[in-house]
Amino acid sequence: MARVDDFKEALRLASEQLRQCNLHRQAKLAGAEIRLDPDDAVVITFALLGREIAVRIGVQVTIEETGSQEEISLPNKVLICHYLLTADGTPPTGELITYRQVPDGHFYFDAFQRRARDPFLKGFGAQPELFRTCAEKLGGVPVENGDLGMRFQVLPRVPIQIILWFGDDEFPPEASLLFDANVSGYLPAEDIAFVSGNLVYALMGIARNRGR
């Protein structure tokens, strides 16, 4: 697991790259909005799992959630920077791929299963209606795939589908996370695994908070 110092260094490097790149071009490629602050800092905004993120690039780079006092975690800040830096504007292909088919995905496949697929099955495998309810609250829309499939727009150009197959007396429930084949044009493999886990944990958080 990456240490805090590793994330701090990754954020420092990504922030330097943002200050040096063509921000108007990258914002357009990422499907984000861009504006100038009165002090001439550039502000790029887009949604991450339904939360509006504001990236302010001036003398320093700051990343905040609009309207929230909660600090964004270091790993999420790195993810946000990488999305802006990696985005190449590749249009959707309509072809769905598994994580193992993502370029370099085989290097992180076990970590991906532990972070995303396995927790999803533990939390929702035997409770498909709970999955449907939580997915709808997170903005998920149904897709015709598996016994129950939901599509989530986790970033402006990165949709993820979670597909659940119900279990029976002979077989346990099974699940898969699917991506458009263009996903590597927006995030490297490690970040795809990370944001997939974020999606699952967001669903689990909604499940825990039901009825509160």
Please report, rounded to a whole number, the percentage of residues in the chain having pLDDT higher than 90: 91
What residue spans define the domains of the chain?
4-86, 96-208
The structure's pTM equals 0.94
Q: Which of 110, 107, 142, 114 is nearest to 201 (CA)?
A: 114
Q: What is the mean pLDDT of residues 182-198?
A: 97
Kindly report each contact of residues 23-32 with a partner whose C-beta sits within 8 Å and lies 24 or more positions away, as own/partner.
23/57, 26/84, 26/85, 26/87, 27/84, 28/89, 29/87, 29/88, 29/89, 30/83, 30/84, 30/87, 30/155, 30/156, 30/157, 30/186, 31/87, 31/156, 31/157, 32/84, 32/156
Please check the confidence at residue 211 and state whether its pLDDT lies above 60: no
Structure tokens at 80: 């946000």
Taking a C-beta distance cutoff of 8 angstroms, is the pair 163, 176 a contact?
yes
Q: d(Cα 2, Cα 55) in Å, to the nearest integer?
A: 23
Structure tokens at 98: 């598994």
pLDDT in tens, 83-115: 999 999 999 999 999 999 999 999 999 999 999
pLDDT of residue 212: 54
Region for residue 32 given its phi and psi (left: phi exceeds 0; alpha: psi -120 to 50; beta: otherwise) = beta
pLDDT of residue 142: 98
DSSP 8-state code for residue 184: G
169 phi and psi angles, rounded to 5 deg: -65, -20
Which CATH fold topology does 96-208 show? TATA-Binding Protein (3.30.310)
Q: d(Cα 157, Cα 78) in Å, to the nearest integer?
A: 17
Based on the number of CB atoms within 10 Å of its own CB, is 183 exposed (0-12), middle (13-18) or buried (19 or more)?
Answer: buried
pLDDT in tens, 143-158: 999 999 999 999 999 9
Please report, rounded to a whole number, the percentage of residues in the chain having pLDDT higher than 70: 98
